[in-house]
Structure 1
Amino acid sequence: MDVPAQARGVLYVIVCAAPAAADVHALVVLARAAGWQVHVVTTPMGAGFVNAKKLERLTGDLVRSTYRTPDQPKGLPPADAVIVAPATFNTINKWAGGITDTFAVGLLCEVMGFDVPIVAVPLLKDVLARHIAFGRSLADLRRMGVRVLFDPAAPPNARMPSWGQILQELHDLIEVGPS
């Protein structure tokens, strides 16, 4: 593990069950090179889409997907920023509705209470993107200060920006503040 030259703080990367999750290690590499201490959390289904061993080697930390038990120590330092990518229909809707039945969504709901900068990048089927609940959830998250990167006019296979663009969007959000 290389130590970044300039420390930016703690970045949570929340990963859901979508094909792009298989490449999230590329985001981790970019974020670490930019000075972030990265911690990866997956949804329970998202855990099957990532290479946890590779992510643990890159971050020096466990990939978490479940709540800890009372006898386990707290393992995550407070977040300075969060990227949720890829974010699924299910996670977006539960997060916006405050339904914390997974560790990942519970963590997102808690972090919002600390005014931590968050970038969310939904990746879902076109038919789900047209669902009324999804549109409401995106609007609610935006009202709560989340930077949502989602273009419904883009073709489904081109809706998710590159990992580099996502990280740059987070850096812009931190520098400029919410829009």
Structure 2
Amino acid sequence: MTRVLYLIACAAGPTQYIDDGVRAAQATGWDVCLILTPSAAAWWEPRMQELVDLTGHPVRSRYKLPWEQDQLPKADAMLVAPMSCTTLNKWGAGIADTLAIGLPSEGVHMGVRVASMPYFNQAQAAQPAVGASIAALRKQGVMVLDGPGGYQPHPPKQGDPKAFPWRQALDRLDA
């Protein structure tokens, strides 16, 4: 039986390499459905068909309209990666104004395994809301992969988006 992963990506540096994340998940046996925040979708707009071809599914970035049918199979797990500071804080506050936040917000309370791995810098991580948002997500059962064993914030202007640890996030999701 094929396992379905919703890979949910925000407008953070590694999203320019989301195809690497898709391939890493596929290599570990996941059928990957890709959901992008509206800003992340804009980054990929000229090359969106590449992602559709790679996943075999439509790439979603907005809520469906009431008369539209679901286009994706049901998720067995969700990985929000890379998760931006903005998405972290909106999600932690319960603001599900994008599909990329709404799906894991509901999913974790419907028995779907949900993990997230942030990607932002140390200055953003110093915001008091960050710790509160991480605590709020963990309290709900979201596996937030930050700090040791996850993604550690990088110094401002010194991130390496190409080196985002997709495989580490997938391994932790599978653990």
Distance (Å, rounded) in 2 between the aligned partners of 1:155 and 1:70: 41
Q: 1:95 aligned to 88, 91, 95, which one?
A: 91
Distance (Å, rounded) in 1 between the aligned partners of 2:40 and 2:34: 11
Tell me if the contact between 2:119 and 2:153 (Cα under 8 Å) persists in the aligned partners.
no
Q: How far off is 1:125 after superposition?
A: 2.7
Determine if the alignment matches structure 1 residue 36 to structure 2 residue 30. yes
Specify the alignment match of 1:24 in structure 2: 18
What secondary structure, in the 3-state scheme, does the structure 2 residue paired with 1:38 have?
A: strand
Match of 2:171, as an amino acid?
Q
Distance 1:132 1:117, change over 3 A: same
Distance (Å, rounded) in 1 between the aligned partners of 2:54 and 2:137: 30
Determine if the alignment matches structure 1 residue 167 to structure 2 residue 174. no
Q: Which runs of 5+ in 1 are unaligned?
A: 1-6, 173-179
Aligned residues: 166
- Percent identical pairs in the alignment equals 38
Structure 1, 87-96 or 68-77: larger mean CA deviation: 68-77
Q: How far off is 1:33 after superposition?
A: 2.2
Tell me if the contact between 2:7 and 2:80 (Cα under 8 Å) persists in the aligned partners.
yes
Specify the alignment match of 1:155 in structure 2: 154
Q: Deviations over 1:24-67 (max 9, x none)?
A: 11121121222211100011111123442221111111110011
Q: 1:67 aligned to 44, 63, 72, which one?
A: 63
List, as ranges, runs of 4+ consecutive aligned residues in structure 1 with deviation greater than 4 Å. 158-161
Q: Which has the higher contact order (CA 8 A, sep 6+)?
A: 2
Cα RMSD for the two superposed structures: 2.0
Distance (Å, rounded) in 2 between the aligned partners of 1:21 and 1:92: 15
Distance (Å, rounded) in 1 between the aligned partners of 2:136 and 2:63: 25
Match of 1:32, as an amino acid?
Q
Match of 1:96, as an amino acid?
G
Q: Which runs of 5+ in 2 are unaligned?
A: none
Match of 1:29, as an amino acid?
R
Q: 1:119 aligned to 100, 110, 115, which one?
A: 115
Q: How far off is 1:18 after superposition?
A: 0.8
Distance (Å, rounded) in 1 between the aligned partners of 2:99 and 2:152: 32
